Structures are given as C-alpha cells and as structure tokens.
Amino acid sequence: MKLQGRRGTRKYEVDLSGDMPICQCQKPQFTGIPCNHVLAVCSRLKLDEKAFVSPFYSVQNYVNTWTGDWHSFGNENEWPLYHGPVLRPDPSTINRGRRKHKRIPMVMDIMEGRARSRQVRSASKKSRAARNARNAGATPPTRYFS
C-alpha cells in the first residue's frame, strides 16, 4: 500500500506493504525507526505504529542483551596457547612524539602561544634551578623569581 505524506510543500511517498515501512526520506530504512511521514500515515489510517518499529528496539531484546552469565578470563597462564599468525604494525606507520596539528592558527592561538611560551620559560627556569640545586647537594629554593 503506497501513500503520500505531505510536509509543507514537500511530498513523501510511504510504502507500508512490507514488514518495514519504506519512505522517500529513507530514515526507516537506515534506522529501523518510523519517520514522521510513516507516523502521519499510520495516524491517518488508524494503524498501530509500533508494528513498524524494528524488533531490534524491543524491550525483550534489550533485556536479553544483559542477561546470561559473564565469565572472566582468569589467569593469563591458564589461557590456551595461540597458534595463529603474529600480527605486527608496519614500522613506517608508527609515529613518535606528539601528533602534528593540521589546523590553521587563528589570532587567539597566537595570543595563547605567547602567553604559553612565557609560562614554559618560567617553568623551565624553575626546574633548571631545582636541578642545579640538587646536583650541588643543596636544597632547592622555595621561592623563584622571574
């Protein structure tokens, strides 16, 4: 049974002949949930819209997901030996260090960069002073001046 639903100036064709409704907006085909157009047609024909919802979304399926026994893997020494292939990543694709940012720096980034660089400089002075004090055997100063 093919019907047309209308929303504003747009018309959508709805087919309710199969188990799952088919609409031109394709929401029911992708999600398994009836779209507004299917619901409008069901309302007009006085059909139960719950019949057009995928059984995947039923309460029973949700309950079945979390029922049953959960078994732990136990001690690693008790696992069976693996005799399959050993998979290793390609060494040329492994990058070391922080990833490079690929975005265009904006005005705020430049301003934050200046502020951040001052903080980094003062932090490096503090850590350098503490390291020198440790190497000399003295206690590091408690207050640092920039």
At 84-110, the pLDDT tens digits run 999 988 888 887 777 776 777 777 766
d(CA 138, CA 37) in angstroms, rounded, equals: 78
Mean pLDDT of 10-29: 85
Q: Is the pLDDT of residue 15 over 50?
A: yes
Read off φ and ψ for residue 60, nearest 5 degrees. -65, -40
Q: Is the pLDDT of residue 116 over 70?
A: no
Share of the chain above pLDDT 90, in %: 3
Decide which of 141 and 70 is more confident.
Answer: 70
Return the C-alpha torsion angle 11, 17, 20, 25, nearest 10. Answer: -10
Across 67-76, 115-124, 136-145, least confident range: 115-124
Average pLDDT over the chain reads: 77
Structural tokens at position 91: 């060494």
Structural tokens at position 17: 């002949």
User: Considering the entire predicted model, what is its pTM?
Assistant: 0.43
